[in-house]
Amino acid sequence: MPEPVLHEHEKIPALLHELAHWLTQEAHNAVRHHGHFFLALSGGSTPRQLYHLLASPEWQKKMPWDRTALFWGDERDVPPTHPESNYRMVKESLLDQLRTPPWLISRWYTESPWPMALADQEQQLQQWLPKALGYPQFDVVLLGLGPEGHTASLFPDSPVLRSPRWIEHVFVPSHGVWRYTLGLETINAAHHCAFLVTGKAKADIVGEILRHSGGTLPASLVQPADGLVHWFLDQASAIKVSR
């Protein structure tokens, strides 16, 4: 298994600029290769800063938005107007600011009953994405990291970690909520996965994952079959990473 690629910066703004640069490069590579860039987005406060950056006039011109298809790696089971909706966060921080709209926006239809929401998202994945070993293949999946090692809405000891389904509707006992998420096999079908992690509170779990390859935590199980895992870390979150 290839070693993860580490991108570390002392300050968060420099880290976000490197990630934005890397994303635009991958977007143009994908467009040259197969005509479109298929991107799964992450929720969270640090990704919100990334989306604000991508919405700036400078970065808007660098991304091929008219060839970019946006999906969400996971979503809370709340209406799209809810304050905790990942879609609402991305809409407010990025989509509403873009002069050129994305070629495709495929959100989770959380206002529908969950079986219908799953069926709709599965149909969207089937219709638009290329396939790799029977799974929809994103060019990039952006991921966050929870303090217990969860990523997307894949939590430790969750039965959906062993599921072959493309997507899941999963109850998270530690949070007392239902969520939608890409399955682990779908994430691992991506060309590249990119973790964006900041803050001293994440240092222990980042160090544990990157020191012990082959672990059982959900984030440790992210291993793209034909690509790489990139870790974008600020200095605070990387202090326990072995050099």
Distance of CA 118 to the CA centre of its chain: 18
The answer as to whether 242 is a domain residue is no
Span 165-221, pLDDT tens digits: 999 999 999 889 999 999 999 999 999 999 999 999 999 999 999 987 768 999 999
Structural domains in the chain (count): 1
The answer as to whether 151 is a domain residue is yes
Decide: helix, strand or coil at residue 191.
coil
* Cβ atoms 112, 142 nearer than 8 A: no
The answer as to whether 241 is a domain residue is no
Span 140-173, pLDDT tens digits: 999 999 999 999 999 999 999 999 999 999 999 9
pLDDT, residue 243, reads: 62
Span 50-80, pLDDT tens digits: 999 999 999 999 999 999 999 999 999 999 9
The Cα 94–Cα 87 span in angstroms is 10
The answer as to whether 56 is a domain residue is yes
Decide: helix, strand or coil at residue 235.
coil
Q: What is the pTM of this model?
A: 0.97
The answer as to whether 11 is a domain residue is yes
| CATH code for the domain in which residue 122 is found | 3.40.50.1360
The answer as to whether 163 is a domain residue is yes
The Cα 113–Cα 79 span in angstroms is 11
User: Whole domain around residue 164: which residue ranges?
Assistant: 5-234
Place of tokens 């396939």: 131
